[in-house]
């Protein structure tokens, strides 16, 4: 056992089984604190790490939204969970070209990733959570593969009702368990009659952040773009997964050594935000509407043969139906209902 796994086993021995959400919180904090997980040599590859086109197109989308808001000079550009800072660096090329030089705020808990972000976006400010970002100006907020890393509670249908899923420990390691008390009141009524063994997830951590984003948009204006894999719930399904070295792993074996994620419930985020919501639409459709094909042609015009092949491969990966094009989805939040680029 790693020292971290040992500590978890001691915690469970002392205080009893912990809810899956608590397990996810502790494991992911340890995971992101101790490594840069991205890319071929890491555990997973995200869209901004595939191609600069991703961040540039999203940057152009924000330029359009900023202009629509009257080009407010004090606007904040905020990113939740910026990873290596690659996407923001690419976005800033688009904003700079449009003569918008926003204050950049990063919400990031990992000190290791903060230093990677500082190397790419030297002028940024860092915060532990969105509440700490000054609430004084129009908010332009982006989050790519951030919400999937936030903890979910899981409820399992049993014969007598619903129980929260927990993680317990025995001599051999960690094992799944169910809380003794009934949790039917926490399951959406229209799912309550699901068959025995069904799982329903809820992410209070995610909906709290969505509510904060919505409140800020309503107060000061702006726009938010949330990109992730997920569904428009409520729905049943156990989506908790562990990814290690680009393959699925067991979410309760080797705690803190794999990326733990759950699919994002875009319906729940939109409802919690309480402002106008657009989508979710597939990432492929969104990027094509933003002009990824024209952007690729421009890049290819000044590329070598192998570079051109790589650009085509990146477009296919970001937009293809069997790659990221439909599994990944895009949700926009806005203080008003005027149509938005990419969601027509």
Is residue 228 within 8 A of residue 267, CB to CB? The reply is no
| Closest distance of CB 79 from ligand SAH, Å | 7
Sole binder of ligand SAH in the list 56, 90, 145, 257 (CB under 6 A) = 145
Interface with ligand SAH, residue 43, by CB under 6 A: no
Instruction: For the beta carbon of residue 341, count every other beta carbon within 10 angstroms.
Output: 16
| Closest distance of CB 199 from ligand SAH, Å | 22
The residues in 95-124 that bind ligand SAH, with binding defined as CB under 6 A, are 107-110, 113
> Which stretches of 37-99 are assigned E, i.e. beta strand?
76-80
Interface with ligand SAH, residue 48, by CB under 6 A: yes
> Measured at the alpha carbon of residue 39, what is the angle toward residues 151 and 32, in degrees to the nearest 5?
35
Q: Which residues pair with 164 in a beta bridge?
A: 155
Interface with ligand SAH, residue 144, by CB under 6 A: yes
> Measured at the alpha carbon of residue 96, what is the angle toward residues 75 and 310, in degrees to the nearest 5?
120
| Closest distance of CB 195 from ligand SAH, Å | 33
Q: Report how many residues bind ligand SAH under the rule CB under 6 A.
A: 19
Interface with ligand SAH, residue 221, by CB under 6 A: no
- Residue 15's contacts (CB-CB under 8 Å, 6 or more residues apart) are none
Instruction: For the beta carbon of residue 156, count every other beta carbon within 10 angstroms.
Output: 20
Count helices and strands (H / E) in the chain.
Answer: 11, 16
Part in contact with ligand SAH (CB under 6 A); list of ranges 90-98, 143-151, 156-164, 248-256: 143-151
Number of residue whose CB is nearest ligand SAH: 81
Q: Which residues bind ligand SAH (CB under 6 A)?
A: 28, 32, 38, 46, 48-49, 81-83, 87, 107-110, 113, 144-146, 149
């Amino acid at each position: 056992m790693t020292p971290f796994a040992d500590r978890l086993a001691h915690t469970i021995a002392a205080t009893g089984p912990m809810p899956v959400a608590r397990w996810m919180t502790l494991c992911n904090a340890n995971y992101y604190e101790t490594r840069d997980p991205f890319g071929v040599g890491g555990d997973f590859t995200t869209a901004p790490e595939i191609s600069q086109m991703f961040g540039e197109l999203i940057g152009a989308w924000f330029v359009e939204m900023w202009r629509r808001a009257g080009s407010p000079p004090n606007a904040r550009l905020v990113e939740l969970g910026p990873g290596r800072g690659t996407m923001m660096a690419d976005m800033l090329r688009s904003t700079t070209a449009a003569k918008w030089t926003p204050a950049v705020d990063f919400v990031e808990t990992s000190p290791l990733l903060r230093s990677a972000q500082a190397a790419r976006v030297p002028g940024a400010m860092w915060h532990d959570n969105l509440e700490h970002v000054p609430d004084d100006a129009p908010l332009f907020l982006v989050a790519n593969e951030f919400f999937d890393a936030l903890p979910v509670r899981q409820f399992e249908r049993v014969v007598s009702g619903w129980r929260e899923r927990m993680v317990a420990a025995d001599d051999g390691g960690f094992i799944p368990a169910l809380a003794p008390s009934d949790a039917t009141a926490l399951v959406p009524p229209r799912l309550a009659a699901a068959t025995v063994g069904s799982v329903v997830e809820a992410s209070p951590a995610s909906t709290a952040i969505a509510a904060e984003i919505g409140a800020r948009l309503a107060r000061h204006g702006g726009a938010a773009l949330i990109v992730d894999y997920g569904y428009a719930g409520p729905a049943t399904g156990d989506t908790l997964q562990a990814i290690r070295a680009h393959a699925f792993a067991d979410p309760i074996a080797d705690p803190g050594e794999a990326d733990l994620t759950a699919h994002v419930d875009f319906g729940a985020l939109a409802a919690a935000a309480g402002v106008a919501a657009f989508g979710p639409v597939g990432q492929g459709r969104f990027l094509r509407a933003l002009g990824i094909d024209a952007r690729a042609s421009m890049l290819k015009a000044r590329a070598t043969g192998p570079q051109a092949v790589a650009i085509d491969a990146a477009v296919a990966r970001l937009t293809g139906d069997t790659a990221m094009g439909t599994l990944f989805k895009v949700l926009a939040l806005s203080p008003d209902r005027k149509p938005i680029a990419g969601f027509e």
